[in-house]
Amino acid sequence: MKTYNTCHLNRWSSTFRLLRMVLGSVKSVKYISIVALFFILMVVLITALSPRPILAQEETIELKPIYPKVESTTHEAIFTFPVSLIYRGDQARDFDLKASGPSGWNTYVTSRYERITISVIRLEPNKYPPEQVKVIATPSPSVIPEIGDYKITLVVSSGTIRDSIELTAVVTPTYSLDLIPSDRYYREATANRDNQFSLTVKNTGSGELTNIRFSAEKPQGWIVEFEPAKIDRLAAGISHEIQVNVKPASRTDRRYHEMTLIAEADQTRQTTIMNIRVEEPKGFWMWIGGAIALLVIGAFTFIFL
């Protein structure tokens, strides 16, 4: 019985020693893991803080137009495009500037404030705000541009560093017309009678005029008629003759009367003033004269006979 107990105790002692060794090993592994993690973090930190070799910055030039599309009329066809030059690099460089446009156009580059025409500009790297130039495009005096879009190109280069942009000049139409009486601004008209005269309408703009209507601001009781009363379309530079019939009121005073003729299209409007001197109908005075003559003849006949 004593021997059994001794063996049993020895067995439990061996188990406790084994368990102790295992726990000790686990504790050692824990410490080793902590130390390894510490060394890994130190290596990462040292690597991050270590000075690295400085690589040369890639040199680039970027063009950014402030207004890529500009509009102007045919008669005032001057187009100005401000462009920012964004240069990224390590040292200052000289860049060539070249602008080109349609045939018959003058295209060039100026400084930001248009003081001088330039073909080369020196740019400092990484400048903020970036340098700015202006591209100017205008047709030659001998060229009248048609309505539409025209492409302008700007190329900026220095060695292998290069960029280009395309700008758009939009020529828009102008709308105007003339309204001219054929003879003179002072005319004579007979009261209560049809009085015919002609009127010339001319499209003096660069765009087509549509739906031209005619009207008049006239004295009360007057009748003013136009033939035709409307023109559907009138191309640029084309004239058209209009017949105007003016019929003053029967009791219009014998003096000059002012009348305003109006031509109004969808795009523009024009007026012209006419002064018309009104005369009484000649037939009226003929009847008066005839009546007086008959009275005189009758009186002489009665007296002498």
Cβ-contact 77, 143 below 8 angstroms: no
- pLDDT for 262 equals 96
What share of residues in the chain are helix, strand, coil (percent, to 5)?
A: 25, 45, 30
The answer to whether residue 253 scores a pLDDT higher than 90 is: no
Phi, psi of 174 (to 5 degrees): -110, 150
Structure tokens at 173: 């139409």
Percent of the chain with pLDDT over 90: 56
For the chain, give the mean pLDDT. 83
Please tell me which residue, 22 or 70, carries the higher pLDDT value: 70
Number of helices (H), then strands (E), belonging to the chain: the values are 2, 18
Lowest average pLDDT, out of 39-48, 130-139, 153-162, goes to: 39-48
3 backbone φψ class: left, alpha, beta (φ>0; ψ -120 to 50): alpha
Residues in the chain: 305
What whole-number distance in Å separates Cα of residue 171 and Cα of residue 284? 61
Cβ-contact 117, 66 below 8 angstroms: no
The winner for highest mean pLDDT among 174-183, 206-215, 283-292 is 206-215
- pLDDT for 130 equals 96
Nearest CA-CA partner of 86 in 66, 60, 67: 60
Please tell me which residue, 56 or 8, carries the higher pLDDT value: 56
pTM of the prediction? 0.62
pLDDT digits (tens, 9 = 90+) for 10-36: 554 665 565 566 455 545 545 555 645
